[in-house]
Amino acid sequence: EFPHGTRYDNGRRTRHIARYDTDWSATGPLIEQLRLNVRAAAGGSWAARKDGDFEPGQEYHGETPLIAVCNLILALHAARKLPSRAV
Q: Please report the pLDDT score of residue 8 as a whole number.
A: 61
24-67 pLDDT per residue, tens: 988 999 999 999 999 999 999 999 999 877 776 689 999 999 99
Q: Please report the pLDDT score of residue 1 as a whole number.
A: 38
Q: Which of 56, 49, 54, 21 is nearest to 35 (CA)?
A: 49
Q: For 3-7, 25-29, 70-74, which range has the lowest pLDDT when averaged over its residues? A: 3-7
